[in-house]
Amino acid sequence: MNEMLTVKNLHKSFGAKHVLNDVSFTVQRGHIVALVGPNGAGKSTIMKLILGLIPSDGGELKVDGIDVSITSHQELAKVGALIEYPGIYPFLTGKQHLELFATGADKEKDIDKVVAALQMGSYINAKAKGYSLGMKQKLGIAQALLNNPELVILDEPMNGLDPQAVKGLRDVITNLAAQGTTFLISSHILSELEKLADDVLILNQGKIAEHKTMHDLTHSAVSVFVIHTDNDVEGQHVLAAAGLIAELDHGLRIQQNSENNLDDALRALIADDIHIRAVQQVDHDLESSFLDLINSEARGAKQDDNAN
Amino acid sequence: MITLIKQELYKLLHKNGTYIGLACIFCFQIALAILSKVYPGFMSADAAFGTGFAGSSIAVFVMIAATASIIAMEFQYGTVRQLLYRKYYRSQVFISKIIVVILHALVLYVLQFVMALLLKFALFPSIDLGASAGHGRTVLSALAISNVADFISLLLLLSVVLLLSTLFKSNAAAITSGYIGYFVMSMASSLLMLLISHWEWVKWNPFTMMLLGNQILNPTMSSVTHLSTPIMFWGSIAYTVVFSFLAYALFRKRSV
């Protein structure tokens, strides 16, 4: 079976508030999946449901093909997780935290491997009450990666980590994924997720708004070009007179679509004797795709409200 | 389940409070033994030994703090999710904690009993352990029986403490509520004696069961509690189970 995680028609409400509404998606084994969405979209709720921490109001959850719920936890032996913030016993050292939860015959070896991978050796034997935010975060991630889990769920794992630690974590995750570990990661640091994830799930208002591969998401969007000229202000007037829309943003920024295209823009500028210095295609990254989607849904909702 | 119990014991054995609690019991016992030795008028050697040099009384305070924090600390430190998302169920996590509380209490009671004997041999060699202590018991068996009775009452008290502690998210609040609960129960059980004489059915309340230890030491108390000692024993066990179930129901409902 290639599906490590299956979520089907999942519903969850807290009182009168519908947090998740008919959410369905699958996560393939060995894939790194980014779960992104605005605050309150339901990301942590999905993760808690997968981990059997809270009851659902309907729907199916399967880990490696086996049902998981608040009353069915056996399959969670294959899962490691860090949800919201790391749980730390201040009276234990980092190493003791790992010893506490380590299982299996090769406990020591497994602990040493995780400590080395996350570069925690210099403080792993110190009491956790003296740890910085970043150290605690790494300890929480180390606990999630302990015991060679097949599925790792990380909620905002980059919180409190310095750039070097973020890079280190990225390497650890990609290495483990290459060995077959599956990751479901939520984060607001979209630039980092873009470097990591194979697939993207965009969650908005309790629904899956988009589920695509990272490649498709960042390449399916409209192309944006920036034209650098010797007189951008004049250039904008010229394009407007030709019926083309351009924004002044460190050059003339135009979106290529049915009304706007680069050919027409360049011809109009040259015809008006405006000198073209450079033309640059702007990459449509995860952040802009995410913002476009969220904003377009917000506009759609507003139009619906106005129509009503 | 064994893994969960091992994890709970690991945490307990790595907490300074566990050893501070034990040290408090020993220090209090030693202090009381020395006081009885130096000032026999303050408390006679027989009376002091009869209470195990107050070891079990101090153990009650230590166990209230330990029981109140065993669940509250998981919420305070944010570690409860780590406990619950693994392959174990909430019921297993809860039962493992109860088992560790019972083991902890058992160890403290045995250690304070041994310490009482050591102090007797060191400071009061004249006390005859085989002498009669009334009600057909020897001095030694009276102390042992008193400890067992105290232990049963302690379990009832700890089940109430556990129930209260599941309502709090911080150690300090849970421990304070445990101590307040203890004093309220102690006062209520004395007060209820008056009520039982007026309304027979009041004898079935859990506070009466808290007097099991007193009744075992002094069987004539049954005329006040209107309950036989075996009934009080089983009543204590029944209420301990009921309060533990209520504590579990609250723990199960708590959001994480």
State what percent of residues in chain A have pLDDT above 70.
91
Phi, psi of B166 (to 5 degrees): -70, -15
Task: Please give the DSSP secondary-structure letter assigned to residue B67.
Answer: H
With a cut of 90, say whether residue A89 has pLDDT above it: yes
Task: Count CB-CB contacts under 10 A for residue B51.
Answer: 17
Q: Span B35-47, mean pLDDT?
A: 83
Query: Are the C-beta atoms of A101 and B83 separated by less than 8 Å?
Result: no
Phi, psi of A52 (to 5 degrees): 65, 25
Please indicate if any CB of chain B lies within 8 Å of the CB of A77: yes
User: B40 versus A109: which is more confidently predicted?
Assistant: A109
Residue of B nearest to A71 (CA): B89
Distance between terminal CA atoms of chain B? 21
With a cut of 80, say whether residue A110 has pLDDT above it: yes
Task: Count CB-CB contacts under 10 A for residue B238.
Answer: 13
Consecutive H or E run containing B203: none
Q: A169 vs chain B: nearest CA distance in angstroms?
A: 20
- Distance, in Å, from the CA atom of A46 to the CA atom of A54, rounded to the nearest integer, reads 10
On average, the pLDDT of chain B sits at: 86
Query: Model confidence over A26-47: pLDDT tens digits?
Result: 999 999 999 988 888 888 899 9
The structure tokens listed for B200 are 């027979």
* Of residues B78, B89, B255, nearest to A85 (C-beta): B78
Query: Model confidence over B96-120: pLDDT tens digits?
Result: 999 999 999 999 999 999 999 999 8
pLDDT at residue A299 in the model? 61
Q: Which fold has domain A222-282?
A: Alpha-Beta Plaits (3.30.70)
pLDDT at residue A80 in the model? 92
CA dihedral (A201, A207, A209, A212) in degrees, to 10, reads: 30
Chain A partners within 8 Å of B15 (Cβ) = 91
pLDDT at residue B148 in the model? 87
- Distance, in Å, from the CA atom of B53 to the CA atom of B3, rounded to the nearest integer, reads 37
Please indicate if any CB of chain B lies within 8 Å of the CB of A210: no
For chain A, the structural domain boundaries read 3-219, 222-282
Q: Do A54 and B16 make contact, defined as CB atoms within 8 angstroms?
A: no
On average, the pLDDT of chain A sits at: 86
Q: Which fold has domain A3-219?
A: Rossmann fold (3.40.50)
Residue A83 DSSP SS3 = coil
Residue A230 DSSP SS3 = coil
Chain B partners within 8 Å of A101 (Cβ) = 7, 82
Find tokens 């004395």 and name the residue: B190
* Of residues B7, B15, B85, nearest to A52 (C-beta): B85
Q: Do A77 and B87 make contact, defined as CB atoms within 8 angstroms?
A: yes
Q: A214 vs chain B: nearest CA distance in angstroms?
A: 29
Consecutive H or E run containing A60: strand A60-63
Give the B-side interface with A, CB within 8 Å. 3, 7, 10-11, 14-16, 73-74, 77-82, 84-89, 255-256
Chain B partners within 8 Å of A85 (Cβ) = 78
Query: Model confidence over A146-172: pLDDT tens digits?
Result: 988 999 999 989 988 888 889 889 999
Q: B16 vs chain A: nearest CA distance in angstroms?
A: 8
With a cut of 90, say whether residue A136 has pLDDT above it: yes
pLDDT at residue A115 in the model? 94
Q: B17 vs chain A: nearest CA distance in angstroms?
A: 10
* Of residues B7, B73, B88, nearest to A100 (C-beta): B7
Q: A102 vs chain B: nearest CA distance in angstroms?
A: 10
- Distance, in Å, from the CA atom of A212 to the CA atom of A36, rounded to the nearest integer, reads 12
Q: Span B56-82, mean pLDDT?
A: 89
- Distance, in Å, from the CA atom of B37 to the CA atom of A304, rounded to the nearest integer, reads 88
- What is the value of ipTM here, to two decimals? 0.81
Q: Do B11 and A83 make contact, defined as CB atoms within 8 angstroms?
A: no
- A242-261 in b/e form (b: 16+ CB < 10 A) is eebebeeeebbbbbeeeebb
Beta bridge partners of A79: A151
Q: Do A96 and B79 make contact, defined as CB atoms within 8 angstroms?
A: no
Chain B partners within 8 Å of A53 (Cβ) = 81, 84-85, 256
Q: Do A87 and B80 make contact, defined as CB atoms within 8 angstroms?
A: yes
Q: B247 vs chain A: nearest CA distance in angstroms?
A: 18
Interface test with A, best of B5, B69, B81 (most A CBs within 10 A): B81
